[in-house]
Amino acid sequence: MSLNALNAWRVALVAVAAGVGVGAAAAALKLAVPWQVGDLLPVGSAVDGPTPRAEVPETRHAFGTIGTGGTGSHEFTVKNTGSGPLTLRKGETSCTCTVSDFDSAAGGSPEGTKVVPPGGDTRIRVQWKGKGAGGPFRQQATILTDDPRRPELVFVVEGAVVPTWRAAPETIVLSRITASTGVQAAADVFTYGKESPTVTGITIDDPQAAQFFSLATSPLSADAIASETGATGGFRIDVDVKPGLPIGPLKRLIRVGFTMPEEMTAEVPLEGTVGGDLVMAGPGWDSSRQALLLGTVSGKAGLRTRVFLTAKGPYRDRVRPEVRETVPDSLQVTVGSGSPIGTGGVVRFPIDIVIPPGSRAVNHLCSQQGPAGRIVLETGHPESPEFSIPVCVAIGP
């Protein structure tokens, strides 16, 4: 090979090496540039002609608090900054979240899509329900687009679920109440909706006892509402108990209907013990529950027991107890003659209670499944003419 030919080969090899080096350097330089949204498109998705471009000012919204059972909503804006029309479709949502702007009445098509022209925008309304006992929540909705650079838009709403309402105290407890005197009590009901509550009515669960209660409501002051974290409104329940309630345990339920704007009902228990000149004592009598606890009795063997009714005060000598009603009806109740105790300031009446053998099975164990039985006495006392004795008993086989 001549010297000129050898030089020519050397030049060619140098050129090839240089080309390879330049190409590798260019590739390395390209990899060093960060990827931009839209740099990667699916194979065969080269865009020809006008294309849409979805832009959203926000994808996450802090809603704040929502009451249990309440409905929240927020509108997100979607803009089309591209040169072609942008088509939106509903995607998946979380369990309590819905998107309601894709029907024809809301500007969508019958196929459940929305088309945004170039330079235009639309609003996506996300709605959700407050569920659970309380705590943080996170709801999301996905919108599908035909923007090749942004095929999905995920909108997130976060906040906290709080009770729709809360009573303070949770139970109105009446103390120092007697059959001959009245008493007043109150409870504040705080609400947590976006609107203040409008009371529509207030009742007590026993129509026959309603004559002994005067019930009223009034809006809470701004200072009272501010004292309860998260509360946005509320009302006070005022209870005026009139004289004449039967002696014994008192358990009632006050119901207040209100709108916010949904229709709701607040239920506040009312409890206490009505005292007076008549008092029970003896085996099985539970003074804390104000009930006679007989427990479970064999229907074959039956039961016999004795308790005592004592009468004091200026009308004690006028008391003449007589049985008016028994539940269950298998209870056989006999009231004996009264006898003075000590100096005569108290008169005691023995009450014999018999469950005869062969009585039918019943459940009155003072539970949700078995409501209490009772012995109702007519007393002859002018201020306490009726005396009811709750009886917790079950008769087995």
Q: Are 61 and 126 found together in one domain?
A: yes
| Structural domain harbouring 150 | 54-162
Over residues 15-54, the pLDDT tens digits come to: 444 444 444 444 433 333 333 334 444 444 455 679 999 9
Judge if pTM exceeds 0.85.
no
Q: Is the dihedral of CA 379, 385, 390, 396 positive or negative?
A: positive
How many CB atoms neighbour CB 357 within 10 A?
11
Last residue of a domain, one of 162, 182, 211: 162
Provide the pLDDT confidence category of residue 310 given band limits of 50, 70 and 90. very high
Instruction: Give me the CATH number covering residue 150.
Output: 2.60.40.10
- CB neighbour class for 27 (10 Å; exposed up to 12, middle 13-18, buried from 19): exposed
Q: Are 286 and 261 found together in one domain?
A: no
pLDDT recorded at residue 132: 65
Q: Are 294 and 369 found together in one domain?
A: yes
DSSP calls for 378-390? E---SS--EEEEE
Provide the pLDDT confidence category of residue 102 given band limits of 50, 70 and 90. low
Instruction: Give me the CATH number covering residue 242.
Output: 2.60.40.60
Answer yes or no: is pLDDT of 311 > 90: yes
Q: Are 152 and 73 found together in one domain?
A: yes
